[in-house]
Chains A and B, each alone.
Chain A
Amino acid sequence: MPILENLWIIPLLPLLGAILNGLLGAKWSKNLVNSVALGSTGISFVCAIEAVREFLAYYEANHKAWVKPFFDWIVAYNDARFGFDLQMDQLTVVMLLVVTGVGFLIHIYSTGYMAHEEGYYRFFSYLNLFMFFMLILVLAANYVLLFVGWEGVGLCSYLLIGFYFFKKSAADAGKKAFIVNRIGDFGFMLGMFLLFRTFHTLDFNPLFAQAATMQPDAMGQFGTLTIACLLLFMGATGKSAQIPLYVWLPDAMEGPTPVSALIHAATMVTAGVYVVARSHVLFTHAPSAMYVVAIIGCATAFFAATIGLVQSDVKKVLAYSTVSQLGYMFLACGVGAFGAGIFHLMTHAFFKALLFLSAGSVIHAMGGEQDMWHMGGLGKKIRITFYCMLCGTIAIAGFPPFAGFFSKDAILFAAFQHEPAGKVLYVVGLLAAILTSFYMFRLIWLTFAGEPRFDEHKVHVHESPATMTAPLSILAVLSLVGGWFAAPAFWGGKDYFAEFLSPVFSGEEVAGGDSAHQLEWILSGVAVLAAAAGLAVAWRMYSKSVRRGPSTGLHKLLYNKYYVDEIYQAAIVGPLVWLSRNILWKLVDAGIIDGTVNGVAHGAAGIGDVVRHAQSGNTRSYAVWVIFGALVIFAIVFWPLLHPAVVGGVR
C-alpha cells in the first residue's frame, strides 16, 4: 500500500489510539490499553519508515519536495486557502523518524514506568494525542496547519505536566508552561499575519519561493522579513525554552518522567528549532534576525548550563541541560548552519531521551526519590541503568565517538567560521561545553558512585523491568552511533547528514575546504579537551568527598536560578496581578460593569416605586386612564388631518 499517497494515516493512527483509550480505556485492562497505545504508535512508526522509503524514491525521480493537499480547511474566495496539506522533504524525514521512533521507544518504556500509577489509560491517551499533534506539526505544508500542531502539543504538554493534578505544584507548573507559551505564540501568530500580508499565502513552497527572490534586509535594517522572523523566533523561544521564556521548562519536570523525555527533551521543545530551520529562507534574508537567534541561543546555552551546575534534583539538572542544548541548536541556526542544528536536534533527541529515561529508571529504583544528595552508590545495584546513563552522559559531554561529539562539533565549527562575531559565540559555546561535561559527570558521581546516602533498609533498590531497560539499551546504541553520519568528514569524506539535508538548505551550509578541514581537526581537539576539563573538575570535586557544603555567594545565586522566577514575579506577574485585582476587578468589573448593571436594576426599581401608586386596584380609575389614553391617540392621529399645514400639506 502506498503510504506516501495516504500520508494522513501516520498522524491519524495515534489520534485513533488517543480516542479509543480516552473514551474506553477506563474500563479496559492494562494489556488492552497497552496494545492500543503501542500498536498505534508502532504502526505509525512502520508507516513512517515506508513513507520515507517511498519519498526517497520519489525524490530520486523528481528532485523536489513532496506535497499533497488532502482537503480544504479554510477557504476565503480567491484570497486565501489553507488546507490540510502534508509535505515531505529531507527535513521532514529526519523529524518524522525522530518523533515516531523515539516516541515509540518512550511508549514502551512508559508501560513499565507507569505500571503502578493511577490514570494509566489517561496517560496513554494524552501521550498518543501528543504524538498526533507532533506529527501534524512536522508534516504540515503550511504555517496554519503547523500552528495547529504547535498549539496541540502545547495542550498535551499542559495536560501531561499536570498529570498529577492533585499536586498543587504540578497543576501550577502546567499552568505556567501554558501561559508562558501563550506569550511566544502571540508573537508566532503576529509573524504569520505579517507573512500573509506580505506574501498572500502561508503555504511553505510558494511563500519561500517568493521570499527567495526578495532583496535581503541589510544588517541592522528592520524590514518586513526581519520583523516576521523575529516574531516567529519569539514563538520559538516560548516553545523551545530560550531566554527570556525558558522558565517553564524546569518546572515542567513535575510531569511523569517519560513525559519529560518525550515532550520536554526529544520532540516538542525542538519544534522551535524546526520552525526556524523550516523558515530558513526567511531567516537568511534577515541577517539581524539571524544575529538575534545566534546570540539568544548562545546566551541560553551558557546561562542554563551555569544553573545546571548546582541543582540537586536529578531531573532539574537534565531540564537545564535541555535548555542549554536547545540553545546550541539555535546557535547553529543563527550562524546559518541549519543542517548542524537539525543534526544536534536528532542526536540530542537520542541522548537526552536516554538520560531522562535513565533518570526515570533511577527514580523508579529509589522509590520516587529525586534528590541526588540522597542517592549514591547505585552503580553496582542497577547496572543496566548505570551503563545506559553513562552512554548518554558521554554523548552529551561530547567525547568521540558518541553522537554528541559530532553534532556539537559541527555547531562550534560553524560558529567559529561565522563572521564577524563568530569567535565570541564560539568561546561562549565552548565554555558551555565545559560546564555541560561538568554537571553531567557530577550527576553521574553523585548518583551512581560513592557510598549510599540513603537508608538501605527502607529503600529497596531494584533494577527496572525489561520494558524499561530495553528502550534504554536501544537509545544507548543510538546515542553511540547516531552521529556517525558525519564521521567520514574527518577523514576527508562526506558529511552524509549534511549532504542528505542539502536539498532543503541548499547553498546555505558553511563551505569546507582543506584549510577548513585542518581547522575542524583542531577545533574538535579543543572541544574534546573542554569536555575532558569538565570531567576532570567533576572528578576532583565529587569522586571522593560528597558532603553538601553550605550554599553561599555564587553557589546560592546559581542554586536559586539567578532569582529569575522571583524577578519575573516582581517585575511582570506582580504588577499584572495588582492591575487585574485593583483596576480590572475592583474598578472596572465591580465598579463600572457591575455598577451599570445594578444601577439599571435599582433605577427600574425606583421608577416602579413611584409609578406603582397609579395601580390603585380601582377598576374605574383604570377605565379613566384607558379613555384618557384613547383620547391622546385619537388626538395624535387626527390632529394632522385637521391642520394639513402642520405636516406640510398632506394631500
Chain B
Amino acid sequence: MESEVILKVENVSKQYRLGVRGTGTISHDLNRWWHQLRGKEDPYLKVGDINKRDSKGNSEYVWALKGVNFEVKKGEVLGIIGKNGAGKSTLLKILSKVTGPTEGSIKSNGRIASLLEVGTGFHPEMTGRENIYLNGAILGMTKKEIASKIDEIIEFSGCQRFIDTPTKRYSSGMTVRLAFAVAAHLEPDILIVDEVLAVGDAEFQKKAIGKMKSISEEGGRTVLFVSHNMVAVEQLCSKVIILENGKVSFEGGVTEGISNYLTYNSEVNSVLLSKRKDRKGNQNFKINKISFNEGNDSIVQGKPLKIKLHYFNKLSVDNIKISITICKNFEEKIMNINNHSQGIFFSVEKGEGVISITIPKLYLISSEYTIDVWTSFNDVVLDYVVNATSFEVKPSDVFNTGKALNTSQHGIVFPDVCEWMNN
C-alpha cells in the first residue's frame, strides 16, 4: 500500500504561442488543419524555444513545459518549487484539467481536486452559507457531502457570526478563511494547492498548513504543494521537485532540494523574498534578500551570527526602526533584535543597500528558526514580512565540556557561563 503510485506524469509538454494573438491565427490554423488532413505532424510542434523568461528566442512558440516526468506515491506531500515562469502554474493547470497538455500523458489513480485560487466562484451577493454550497460544488462535492460537513466548515473558518451575511460585506481575510475552510474539507485523493496561503494572517497560515499536514498524515491523502515560501515547503512536504525552464532539474528529499534550489542560483533567495506577496507596509523600503554569515559559514551556537538585510529604498529615511524577531515553530517569539530598543539610531539613503546586524554570541539551542522582519519610520510600517526566511543553528561544544547543547529539554535559549558559588 505504502509504495503505490497514485499519480504518474509522463513526458508532459506544453507549448504556448507568444505575442499578440490575432494576426496570423487563421493562417496558422488553416496550415495546421491542412497538415492534419494529409496525416502529417503539426508543423508548429517542431519549432519552439525552451522556456526562458529573460532570453530572447527565435520562435514565436515557446515550450512552457518540456518532457516533464515524475511520480507521486500515495500519502506523499510533494513540493513543487522553481523561479517565476519556470512552469509551475502550467503544470498545476494541466494536472487539474484546466488546460490540456500538448504532448505526454498524466495517469492518476485518484480523484484530483485543485485549489489554484481560494474562493473560486464566490458570489458577493450571496451569504457565506450559500457560497459554501456553491464553492463546494464547484470543487466537486455533492450537496449531500457539503450538508454533512457544513458545521465543521463554518467552525474551521471562524466566521460563525457572519455566515448568513452576503460575502461582499466580508473583509478579504474572512473571505479567504471561508474559502479555505471549504477546500480543506474536500476529500479528494489528491489535493493540488497553489500559492494560496500567501493571503491570510500568520495564525491562519499555520492553521492551514496544519490542516494540510493532517490531510496527508491522517487521511492518507496526497498533496501537491507549490509555494515560494520555503519555510512552508520545509514544514509540509516529504519530497520536492524543482522546475527550471520547463524541465524537472531535481527530484528528491526536501532539505536537499531546498538547499539545492537556493544554491544553484544565488539570486533565488532574493527573488523569493522580493516576490513574497504576504507582506504588509507601504513598501517604500523593501527587504529583498536576507543572508547569514556572508552566505558561506554555517550558523553555529555560541558563535557570532551576522544577518544581512539587502534592501531597496524609494525615499531616504531619517530614523528607521528595524526589528528582527527570531521565532520557533513559526510564531513562538524567542528574541527580538531592534535598533531603537538598543539605543542605536541611523538613517538610510535612497536606493539599494545592505544593513548588517551581528549578534556577538548566538545562545540558541540547535534547531530550526524562522525570522520575522519589521521596518518602520515614525510608527508607519514600511515593510513587514512574517516567516521571511529560516535558518538552522548547528550544535557545537560551546563551553568546552565535550557536549553540545542540542536538546530541547533544556529550553531554547541558554545564558553565557555564569558565576557559580558554593558557600
The answer on A and B forming one complex is no
